[in-house]
Amino acid sequence: MTDDEAAPAAASEQGSRNLVMRVAAALVLAPVAIALAYIGGVAWSLLVTLAATGLFAEWLVVTGLGRELRIVVPGVVALLLAGLCLMAGRIDAALIVLAVGAVVVALTSGARRNWAIAGLLYAAAAEIASVLLRLDTAKGFAALMFVLLIVWVTDIGGYFAGRSIGGPKLWMRVSPKKTWAGAVGGFVASLLVAAGFAASEIGSTGPLLMLGAVLSVVSQLGDLFESAVKRRFGVKDSSHIIPGHGGLLDRLDGFVAAVIVAAIFGFLRGGADGVGRGLMVW
């Protein structure tokens, strides 16, 4: 075999190994996430809080601030204290703690202040939105599963459509592997999930299909946003904590964007204690 023939073969073998690792990691992590989402309460809030602190830590690493303890410590402490407030049902206290944390981070972060604050707000928004969405006892779990499944099938549909169809790149400068075919494939897959939910929600087919479409697009934009940040700082993966996926930022970028938008929709329609109903009942 010549060098020209060996290179594509090696790339194909590496891609196959990466797919196996991605599937294996998903088979472990997805059931855990679903189980804790179903339990709700402290269990879900704890998972969300740990994930939020991980997102903030990885954001700082990507932006070159990971070793700045004067930034890491107040941000992590704020997210952990906010999580405790959320577990106690004190959303107002959580918001105050996070606001104080943002001020401290702003005062201690120096030249890259904007990046440090952005990282804390990114993680905090994901933390608050994820807990608020599940807080609704009537529709919280359904709403959370709706968002999770939309994000997951958008990612899976995009991956397989992109690999099998190929074609023009979506945004070559930011994410060289993503194609328009993958974007459309993920979008179509999200509509199928939304249609499945709509079948159990009589009279809400149109709104849920539109919502699924919006969240699929937002999820893909969240993915591109995280890719743009990594490209800005010359980083390939935010970490290697999840086999085949990279870091928490790499795995949760689409979910963070989608859950924030979903929580905003739900809050505007159902209030702070009815975010799930506001999202799912039309």
Burial class (CB in 10 A: 0-12, 13-18, 19+), 221: middle
Q: With bands split at pLDDT 50, 70 and 90, how would you rate the model's confidence at 243?
A: low
Average pLDDT over residues 165-189: 88
In this structure, the answer to whether residues 94 and 125 fall within a common structural domain is: yes
Q: With bands split at pLDDT 50, 70 and 90, how would you rate the model's confidence at 219?
A: very high
Average pLDDT over residues 28-52: 94
Which of these three, 135, 163, 178, is where a domain ends? 135
In this structure, the answer to whether residues 125 and 162 fall within a common structural domain is: no
**Residue 7, pLDDT above cutoff 60:** no
Lookup result for tokens 């891609």: 15
- Tell me the C-alpha to C-alpha distance, in Å, between residue 264 and each of 106, 152, 168, 248, 276: 25, 20, 33, 23, 11
pTM confidence score: 0.90
Predicted local confidence at residue 8, as pLDDT: 47
Give the count of beta carbons closer than 10 Å to the beta carbon of residue 181.
Answer: 19
Give residue-wise pLDDT tens across range 76-86. Answer: 999 999 999 99
Which of these three, 118, 135, 152, is where a domain ends? 135
Predicted local confidence at residue 229, as pLDDT: 94
Domain region containing 49: 41-135
Q: Calculate what percentage of the chain has a pLDDT beyond 90.
A: 67
In this structure, the answer to whether residues 68 and 166 fall within a common structural domain is: no
In this structure, the answer to whether residues 48 and 155 fall within a common structural domain is: no
**Token digits for 202?**
């009589």
In this structure, the answer to whether residues 20 and 123 fall within a common structural domain is: no
In this structure, the answer to whether residues 120 and 34 fall within a common structural domain is: no
The total of structural domains in the chain comes to 2
In this structure, the answer to whether residues 22 and 149 fall within a common structural domain is: yes
**Residue 11, pLDDT above cutoff 70:** no
In this structure, the answer to whether residues 150 and 269 fall within a common structural domain is: yes
Name the DSSP class of 112: G
Q: With bands split at pLDDT 50, 70 and 90, how would you rate the model's confidence at 110?
A: confident
In this structure, the answer to whether residues 144 and 117 fall within a common structural domain is: no
Give residue-wise pLDDT tens across range 197-214. Answer: 988 865 578 999 999 999
Give residue-wise pLDDT tens across range 138-161. Answer: 899 999 999 999 999 999 999 889
In this structure, the answer to whether residues 109 and 18 fall within a common structural domain is: no
